[in-house]
C-alpha cells in the first residue's frame, strides 16, 4: 500500500476503467460502493508525483477503510487475457457441473445483477437467505441494491430487512442505513425496518469516568490539604513556654527555636503559658485554588519573642545585583505569609530555571539566628531607620537588662530626626521598676537642655520625695546637678 512520510513516498494518481459495485467491504465489513480501477503508483515529493512507478489495478477499494486488493496492471491484463471472455464462463461451467456450489452461485449471481437480470440472480442467490447459508451479506446486499436501482423498492427492502436481522452490526452501518432509508422513503414506509441507531457511549463513558475520577482526586487532595495545615510555633526566649491549642494538643519550647503543630483549617485560640503569657486568636484559611497553588505559612510567635526574617531572592542565569528583599517580623504573636517557597530552610544554592534569560523569584522564612543587633545594624545600613528603631525597642522590651543597643539607638534616632520616637520610648522605659540606671541616663541625656532641664529636675525631685531611700534615684538626681556632671561623665 502506498505510504508517504513528510510528503515523501509513494502514492496512486489517476483512475481509469473504473467499475463500481455496491458491496460489503471484506476488510471492515461495512456496506460500501467498492471501486475497481487502473492507476499508477508514483514516487512523490511533497505529494507531487516525481517518478512514475508501476501501473496498478485496484480491486474493491473501500471508501471507509481505504483497504483494497491490488494487482500489477500487467499481471491483471495477463490474467484477463488468459480468460478470453472473463471468468464468467468458468463459473457457469462450474455451476452446471455442480449446481449447489455456493461460490459459483454467488459469482454467477453477481454477474446477473450487473446485467440487470434480477429474477435470475435472485433465483440463484435465494439459498443465501436461509439462516444456515454461508454468511455472505455482500451478494444479497448487491441484489438489494440492484432492485433499488430498478426502482423495485419493496423487493429491495425485503432483502435489506433480512440482512439487518441476520447481521445486526450491518444494521448500524451508516452506508447500509442510508441505502435502506432511500428505499423506505421511496415506498413511503411508515416505520423503519432498521433498529434505532445505537449511540456509542463507550468513549463518552470513558471520558466521564476519567473526569469524575480526576475531580474526586482533585477535590480529595484539596480537602486533604485543608485538613493538614502546619502551624509553626516559635519562641525567642531562653525559658520554657507552652502553647496549647484547645482540642489539638500543646507544644513546649525550652529554648529559642521552632516546633510544628498540624491543624485543619479553622479559627483557633492558642494559650501561651510559662516564660510568656498570652491568648492568641488566629485563623488558618485559604481559598480553594490557593490550596493547590500557594505555599502559605502560619507562625505563632509566642510572646512575639522570636525574630523572624522573611526574605526573597531571584534566581537566573545572570542574576540581577540587589534583586530580592527582606523584612523582619517580631513582637506580633501571629504571622501569616501567603507564599513561602522555603519555610524554615535555607535557599538552595541553585534551582532549575527554564531559559537563559528567565528569572525566578523565591522566598523563605526563618528565625534570624544572629539576634537583634546585626538585624538593627543591617536595617540602619540600608537606611531603614524606622524599622531599625522599632526593632531596637522590641529588643529592649524583651531584654531590659541588655543595653548594648541603647547608644546606637539614641544615635540613630538623633541622626534620623526621630528624637520624638526615642523620647516616647524612654519615657515608658523609665516607668519600669526596679530602676534601670542606663535607661534613666539616656532619658536624662535627651532632656538635659536649657528648655527642659527645670521640668526634668522637678520630675526627679518628685520621684525622690516618694522614695527617698532609693540609691539609684539619689544617684540619678545627683547627676543632674551642675557639679554632678563630671561624675556622670565618669560613670559612663
Residues that bind Zn ion (CB under 5 A): 25, 27-28, 62, 64-65
CB 61, min distance to Zn ion, A: 9
Distances (CA, A) of 180 to 113, 231, 455: 18, 72, 115
φ and ψ at residue 485, rounded to 5 degrees = -65, -35
Distances (CA, A) of 240 to 213, 237, 243, 401: 49, 8, 10, 19
Helix 385-398 and helix 406-415, axial crossing angle in degrees, nearest 10: 150
CB 163, min distance to Zn ion, A: 17
Q: Do 280 and 294 meet the contact criterion of CB atoms below 8 Å apart?
A: no
- Which residues 6+ apart lie within 8 Å of 18 measured at CB? 35, 36, 37
How far apart, in whole angstroms, are the C-alpha atoms of residue 172 and residue 222?
45
How far apart, in whole angstroms, are the C-alpha atoms of residue 59 and residue 73?
11
CB 78, min distance to Zn ion, A: 28
CB 175, min distance to Zn ion, A: 10
- 59 closest CA partner among 34, 95, 79: 34
- 51 closest CA partner among 7, 4, 9: 9
- 232 closest CA partner among 301, 279, 281, 296: 301
In the chain, count of helices (H) and strands (E)? 18, 17
CB 23, min distance to Zn ion, A: 10
CB 152, min distance to Zn ion, A: 27
Closer residue to Zn ion in complex, CB, 65/204: 65
CB 220, min distance to Zn ion, A: 46
Q: What is the DSSP letter of 3?
A: -
Secondary structure class of 257 (helix, strand, coil): strand
DSSP string, 171-233: HT-HHHHHHHHHHHHHHT-SS-SSPPPPP-HHHHHHHHHHHHHHHHHHHHHHHHHHH-EEEEE
Closer residue to Zn ion in complex, CB, 27/114: 27
CB 30, min distance to Zn ion, A: 6
Q: What is the DSSP letter of 389?
A: H
How far apart, in whole angstroms, are the C-alpha atoms of residue 54 and residue 75?
11
φ and ψ at residue 151, rounded to 5 degrees = 60, 25
- 424 closest CA partner among 447, 449, 400: 447
Closer residue to Zn ion in complex, CB, 33/339: 33
CB 207, min distance to Zn ion, A: 27
CB 265, min distance to Zn ion, A: 59
Closer residue to Zn ion in complex, CB, 173/366: 173
CB 140, min distance to Zn ion, A: 18
Beta strands in 46-180 (DSSP E): 48-61, 69-72
How far apart, in whole angstroms, are the C-alpha atoms of residue 388 and residue 373?
10
Closer residue to Zn ion in complex, CB, 28/351: 28
CA dihedral 261, 262, 266, 271 (to 10 degrees): -20
- 236 closest CA partner among 456, 355, 374, 399: 399
Closer residue to Zn ion in complex, CB, 64/423: 64
How far apart, in whole angstroms, are the C-alpha atoms of residue 144 and residue 152?
9
Closer residue to Zn ion in complex, CB, 121/163: 163
CB 38, min distance to Zn ion, A: 21
CB 141, min distance to Zn ion, A: 14
Amino acid at each position: 500500500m502506498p505510504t508517504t512520510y513528510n510528503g515523501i513516498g509513494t502514492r496512486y494518481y489517476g483512475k481509469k476503467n473504473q467499475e463500481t459495485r455496491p458491496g460489503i467491504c471484506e476488510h471492515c465489513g461495512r456496506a460500501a460502493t467498492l471501486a475497481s480501477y487502473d492507476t499508477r503508483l508514483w514516487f512523490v515529493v511533497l505529494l507531487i508525483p516525481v517518478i512514475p512507478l508501476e501501473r496498478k489495478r485496484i480491486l474493491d477499494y473501500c471508501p471507509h477503510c481505504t483497504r483494497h486488493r491490488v494487482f500489477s496492471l500487467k499481471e491483471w491484463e495477463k490474467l484477463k487475457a488468459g480468460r478470453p471472455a472473463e471468468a464468467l464462463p468458468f463459473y457457469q461451467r462450474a455451476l452446471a457441473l455442480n449446481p449447489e456450489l455456493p461460490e459459483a452461485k454467488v459469482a454467477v449471481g453477481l454477474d446477473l445483477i450487473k446485467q440487470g437480470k434480477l429474477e435470475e440472480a435472485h433465483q440463484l442467490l435465494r439459498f443465501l437467505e436461509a439462516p444456515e447459508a454461508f454468511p455472505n451479506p455482500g451478494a444479497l446486499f448487491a441484489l438489494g441494491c440492484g432492485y433499488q436501482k430498478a426502482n423495485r423498492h419493496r423487493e429491495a427492502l425485503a432483502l435489506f430487512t433480512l440482512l439487518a436481522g441476520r447481521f445486526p452490526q450491518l444494521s448500524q452501518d451508516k452506508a447500509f442505513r442510508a441505502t435502506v432509508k432511500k428505499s423506505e422513503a421511496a415506498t413511503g414506509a411508515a416505520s423503519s425496518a432498521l433498529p434505532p441507531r445505537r449511540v456509542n457511549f463507550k468513549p463518552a463513558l470513558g471520558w466521564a469516568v476519567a473526569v469524575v475520577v480526576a475531580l474526586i482526586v482533585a477535590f480529595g487532595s484539596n480537602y486533604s490539604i485543608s485538613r493538614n495545615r502546619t502551624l509553626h510555633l516559635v519562641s525567642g526566649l531562653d525559658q520554657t513556654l507552652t502553647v496549647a491549642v484547645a482540642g489539638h494538643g500543646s507544644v513546649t519550647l525550652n529554648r529559642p527555636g521552632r516546633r510544628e503543630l498540624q491543624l485543619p483549617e479553622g479559627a483557633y485560640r492558642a494559650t501561651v503559658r510559662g516564660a510568656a503569657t498570652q491568648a492568641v486568636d488566629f485563623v488558618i484559611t485559604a481559598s480553594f485554588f490557593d490550596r493547590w497553588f500557594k505555599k502559605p505559612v502560619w507562625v505563632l510567635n509566642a510572646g512575639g519573642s522570636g525574630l523572624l526574617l522573611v526574605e526573597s531572592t531571584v534566581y537566573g542565569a545572570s542574576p540581577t545585583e540587589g534583586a530580592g528583599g527582606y523584612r523582619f517580623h517580631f513582637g506580633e504573636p501571629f504571622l501569616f505569609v501567603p507564599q513561602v517557597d522555603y519555610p524554615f530552610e535555607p535557599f538552595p544554592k541553585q534551582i532549575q530555571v527554564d531559559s537563559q534569560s528567565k528569572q525566578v523569584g523565591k522566598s523563605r522564612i526563618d528565625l534570624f539566628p544572629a539576634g537583634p543587633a546585626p538585624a538593627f545594624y543591617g536595617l540602619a545600613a540600608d537606611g531603614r531607620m524606622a524599622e531599625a528603631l522599632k526593632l531596637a525597642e522590641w529588643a529592649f522590651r524583651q531584654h531590659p537588662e541588655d543595653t548594648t543597643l541603647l547608644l546606637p539607638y539614641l544615635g540613630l534616632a538623633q541622626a534620623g530626626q526621630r528624637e520624638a520616637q526615642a523620647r516616647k520610648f524612654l519615657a515608658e522605659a523609665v516607668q519600669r521598676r526596679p530602676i534601670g540606671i542606663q535607661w534613666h541616663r539616656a532619658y536624662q541625656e535627651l532632656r538635659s537642655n536649657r528648655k527642659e532641664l527645670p521640668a526634668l529636675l522637678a520630675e526627679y525631685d518628685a520621684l525622690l520625695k516618694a522614695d527617698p531611700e532609693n540609691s539609684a534615684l539619689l544617684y540619678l538626681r545627683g547627676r543632674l546637678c551642675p557639679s554632678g556632671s563630671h561624675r556622670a561623665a565618669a560613670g559612663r
